[in-house]
Amino acid sequence: MNPIAPFIEPDWPAPPGVLALCTTRVGGCSLPPYDSFNLAHHVGDEHANLERNRALLASRLPQGTTVQWLNQVHGVQVIKASGIGKPLYPEADAAWSDEPGVACAVMTADCLPVLFCSLDGKHVAAAHAGWRGLLAGVLEAAVTALDTEPDQLMSWLGPAIGRGAFEVGPEVREGLLRVASPSRRDAIAACFSPSANRPGHHYADLYALAR
């Protein structure tokens, strides 16, 4: 029996009417190397398998929900999610919605998926945050797009690569320190620990950086 479930339900105090899900690799029908719950259109998977997997996801959502998929490029572009009048895969790394039945989606491997919702449940967003996105300010861009006071938002940080596995070069640490305000530089520096094997390299904590 596989110990991993197909879906993770975020443990956050979202208001009524806000539904969030995180998929895993199991529970779908894609064959290796895409096994099995692949939802990405750009990796070379059989289209029929992709459609079956997306149908499985749709079965866990309220009937009639439209999912806004993105062409993610590690940038800061944020779009308003919509099932009408958009390219099928608009180039962006975050989406927001204030429309019932319109869902925001991001796809991640090592990167961090960050979900937002307003305390009143009227606004939601999803952002794809790797180190490039964090450096460029994708989370700040998503919060700005929501047009809601930050203290009226909650967030959930989904599965991502852990600090013990995420080794980065000096340009990552230096870049994030460079854009940090003086009052935040010590906190940013604490998100990195030196690599014992590669001088100048560090292990980075994506979760701490996002926070």
In a domain, 162, yes or no: no
Same domain, 28 and 118: yes
Residue 190 structural domain: 167-210
| pLDDT at position 87 | 67
Q: Do 61 and 19 touch, CB atoms closer than 8 A?
A: yes
Residue 209 has pLDDT above 80, yes or no: yes
How high is the mean pLDDT of the chain? 94
Copy the structure tokens of residue 61: 């959502």
Q: Do 57 and 39 touch, CB atoms closer than 8 A?
A: yes
Same domain, 128 and 193: no
203: CB partners within 8 A, 6+ apart: 163, 164, 165, 166, 167, 168, 192, 193, 194, 195
Distances (CA, A) of 193 to 4, 47, 105, 163: 30, 42, 32, 9
Q: Is 174 helix (H, G, I), strand (E, B) or coil?
A: helix
Provide mean pLDDT across the span 63-70. Answer: 94
**Radius of gyration for the chain, computed over Cα atoms and rounded to the nearest angstrom:** 18
Is residue 128 exposed (0-12), middle (13-18) or buried (19+ Cβ within 10 Å)?
A: buried
Cα 141 to its chain centre, rounded Å, is 13
Same domain, 134 and 189: no
Residue 154 has pLDDT above 70, yes or no: yes
* 198 vs 32: CA distance, rounded Å: 33
| pLDDT at position 201 | 97
| pLDDT at position 1 | 46
Residue 107, domain CATH: 3.60.140.10
Q: Is the pTM of this model over 0.85?
A: yes
Same domain, 108 and 143: yes
In a domain, 2, yes or no: no
Of 157, 185, 200, the domain-final residue:
157
Overall domain count for the chain: 2
* 17 vs 15: CA distance, rounded Å: 6
Same domain, 53 and 128: yes
Q: Tens of pLDDT along 68-115?
A: 999 999 999 999 998 665 667 999 999 999 999 999 999 999 999 999
In a domain, 124, yes or no: yes
pLDDT bucket at 163, cuts 50 / 70 / 90: very high
Phi, psi for residue 8 in degrees, rounded to 5: -110, 130
Q: Tens of pLDDT along 173-203?
A: 999 999 999 999 999 999 999 999 999 999 9
Q: Tens of pLDDT along 4-56?
A: 789 999 999 999 999 999 999 999 999 999 999 999 998 999 999 999 999 99
| pLDDT at position 85 | 56
Provide mean pLDDT across the span 110-124. Answer: 97
